[in-house]
């Protein structure tokens, strides 16, 4: 196998392609959009650059998994990344009582801070963090360790629900809420999201969070450079419309532009259900198709983008979370226009290379289920109608009102503002139901949640956020597993670690 074709140039496709190119394979990537990157893509509006998805980073501090992978690829020193403040990586504000909690960087620092706020929970806090980090240690890939561990070899708590895991150590209702504040970062659903997902995301960001200066597109561009340096190519504006399969082997793929591409091995980075729509119907057994179609998707998001007037709003070097009140952290995705929506949201002021004390823009994310916009699902961007536009305007105004409660003078600082909905995410990324974290992981049915990298089509593999782990750290780790399905188990991990000795 010399030539590998990757369908989809998102985060997973580009990392998989770059790692394969580094391993000596000739890689071609077919990306439907005119810009490669998926969630790394940025766009310009009113003269400012806005990220579409990759706002908060973890694992880029020295010794972190992303630091090691990018160092192996030779691009770490080319990235412009700004760490969040050590004393506050995240702040969480509850509107009903005005209480704000500032979470510092580092495990011991977080433990000490929470103990100072909840002294009666001292023993539970220490035990909670001991077991949180223990769960993360059970995922060898998270630490780039060679492993052959199977899911059944994990501890009992590994597959508890995240809320049950917290409840096992903590009694105070406010502290329970506080320990779950990151759930919008992993699509958390009470009683269903596995404890190991909760552990991995929390450990990742507690160990050190950061953000891209001037947007995440830089990472996508550097990954493209690695692919091209290895003799490969990323074809933009090439949407795959058909995958032809004969005798359980992909023969070739067709694009909307009428082009045909052939390779020795094919890798799909698109949503598995989107893959089903373009591959020959006989390629997969009916049971496999039904199973993929039945896996629930994670929720989507309503996002507000703000351009500020010059020198009117302070730059905030950490991520801010807000909730209306208690008992809301597991219900932020719920929507009821007749009530006090949004129940909570996450917001940040993205940095620039020449960042000073003032922010130039803000991004606000409110998690939202796709069914809120389902009645407009047959419309397209720019042609969704007055009813949709009116609904979006009302949602945007509600979000602005909430932030104005948090920051006096916020409305006066706004120069331009616009918003996107789950339909925007669906159409921009090609993600089923606009899901922002791919397939939901469900501890009550892990067999359904797990999608193997290998398929019944012998020269077709899968990668991306729907396979194994999601996010800025999870997707590159999944890319390693996809690459090792070709070059051999633990081969790539050993190479990455050898470079980082």
pLDDT for the residue 32: 94
Sign, Cα dihedral of 446, 206, 217, 26: negative
Mean pLDDT over residues 409-437, rounded?
Answer: 93
pLDDT for the residue 470: 83
* In contact, 104 and 209? CB cutoff 8 Å: no
Q: Average pLDDT of the chain? A: 94
Mean pLDDT over residues 294-309, rounded?
Answer: 95
Give the alpha-carbon dihedral of 15, 21, 22, 24, to 10 degrees. Answer: 150
Q: Is the pLDDT of residue 189 over 70?
A: yes
pLDDT tens digit string along 79-110?
999 999 999 999 999 998 899 999 999 999 99
Q: Is the pLDDT of residue 150 over 80?
A: no
Distance CA 362, CA 182 (A): 19
Distance CA 5, CA 11 (A): 15
Domains along the sequence of the chain with CATH: 3-51+216-295+451-499 (3.50.50.60), 106-207 (no CATH), 297-434 (no CATH)
Report residue 153's pLDDT band, with 50, 70 and 90 as the boundaries: confident
pLDDT for the residue 1: 63
Q: What DSSP line would sit under 97-149, residue for residue? A: TTEEEEEPSSHHHHHHHHHHH-GGGHHHHHHHHHHHHHHHHT-GGGGT-----
The H-or-E segment that residue 249 falls in is strand 249-255
Q: Is the pLDDT of residue 226 over 80?
A: yes
Q: Is the pLDDT of residue 498 over 80?
A: yes
Q: Is the pLDDT of residue 468 over 90?
A: no
Q: Is the pLDDT of residue 351 over 90?
A: yes
Q: Is the pLDDT of residue 501 over 90?
A: no
Q: Is the pLDDT of residue 161 over 80?
A: yes
pLDDT for the residue 338: 83
Sign, Cα dihedral of 431, 48, 222, 365: negative
Q: Is the pLDDT of residue 72 over 90?
A: yes
pLDDT for the residue 325: 81
pLDDT tens digit string along 376-393?
999 988 899 999 999 999
Q: Is the pLDDT of residue 120 over 70?
A: yes
- Residue 74 Ramachandran class (φ > 0 left, ψ -120 to 50 alpha, else beta): left
pLDDT for the residue 149: 61
How far is CA 436 from each of CA 117, 421, 429, 430, 499, rounded to the nearest angstrom? 33, 11, 9, 11, 33
Q: Is the pLDDT of residue 327 over 80?
A: no
pLDDT for the residue 388: 96
User: What pTM was estimated for this model as a whole?
Assistant: 0.95
Distance CA 386, CA 370 (A): 19
pLDDT for the residue 372: 96
pLDDT tens digit string along 432-465?
899 998 898 899 988 887 899 999 999 999 999 9
pLDDT for the residue 429: 83
* In contact, 361 and 341? CB cutoff 8 Å: no
pLDDT tens digit string along 230-263?
999 999 999 999 999 999 999 999 999 999 999 9
């Amino acid at each position: 196998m010399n030539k590998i074709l990757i369908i989809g140039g998102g985060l997973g496709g580009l990392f998989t392609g770059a790692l394969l190119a580094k391993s000596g394979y000739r890689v071609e990537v077919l990306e439907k959009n005119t810009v490669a990157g998926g969630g790394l893509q940025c766009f310009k509006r009113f003269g400012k650059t806005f990220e579409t998805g990759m706002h908060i980073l973890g694992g880029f501090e020295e010794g972190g998994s992303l630091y090691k992978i990018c160092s192996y690829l030779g691009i770490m020193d080319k990235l412009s990344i700004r760490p969040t403040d050590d004393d506050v990586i995240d702040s969480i504000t509850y509107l009903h009582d005005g209480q704000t909690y500032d979470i510092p960087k580092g495990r011991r620092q977080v433990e000490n801070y929470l103990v100072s706020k909840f002294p009666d929970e001292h023993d539970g806090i220490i035990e909670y963090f001991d077991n949180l980090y223990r769960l993360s240690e059970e995922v060898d890939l998270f630490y780039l360790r060679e492993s052959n561990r199977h899911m059944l070899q994990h501890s009992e708590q590994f597959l508890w629900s995240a809320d049950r895991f917290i409840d096992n150590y903590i009694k105070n209702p406010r502290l329970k809420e506080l320990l779950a504040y990151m759930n919008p970062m992993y699509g958390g659903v009470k009683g269903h999201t596995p404890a190991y997902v909760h552990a991995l995301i929390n450990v990742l960001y507690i160990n050190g969070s950061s953000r891209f200066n001037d947007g995440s597109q830089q990472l996508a561009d550097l990954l493209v450079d690695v692919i091209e340096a290895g003799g490969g190519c990323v074809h933009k504006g090439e949407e795959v419309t058909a995958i032809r399969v004969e005798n359980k082997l992909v023969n070739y793929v067709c694009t909307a532009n009428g082009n045909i591409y052939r390779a020795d091995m094919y890798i799909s980075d698109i949503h598995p259900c989107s893959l089903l729509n373009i591959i020959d119907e006989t390629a997969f057994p009916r049971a496999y198709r039904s199973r993929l179609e039945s896996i629930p998707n994670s929720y989507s998001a309503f996002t507000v983008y703000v351009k500020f007037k010059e020198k009117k709003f302070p730059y905030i070097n950490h991520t801010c979370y807000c909730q209306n009140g208690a008992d809301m952290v597991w219900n932020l995705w719920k929507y009821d226009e007749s009530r006090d929506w949004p129940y909570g949201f996450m917001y940040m002021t993205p940095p620039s290379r020449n960042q000073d004390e003032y922010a130039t823009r803000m991004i606000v994310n409110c998690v939202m289920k796709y069914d809120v916009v389902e009645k407009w699902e047959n419309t397209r961007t720019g042609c969704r109608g007055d009813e949709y536009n009116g609904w979006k305007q009302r949602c945007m105004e509600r979000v602005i009102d909430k932030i104005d409660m948090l920051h006096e003078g916020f409305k006066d600082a706004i120069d331009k503002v616009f918003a996107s909905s789950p339909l925007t995410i669906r159409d921009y990324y090609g993600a089923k139901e606009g899901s922002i974290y791919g397939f939901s992981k469900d501890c009550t049915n892990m067999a359904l949640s797990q999608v193997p990298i290998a398929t019944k089509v012998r020269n077709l593999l899968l990668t991306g956020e729907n396979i194994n782990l999601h996010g800025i750290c999870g997707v590159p780790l999944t890319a390693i597993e996809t690459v090792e399905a070709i070059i051999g188990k633990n081969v790539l991990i050993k190479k990455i670690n050898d470079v980082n000795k």
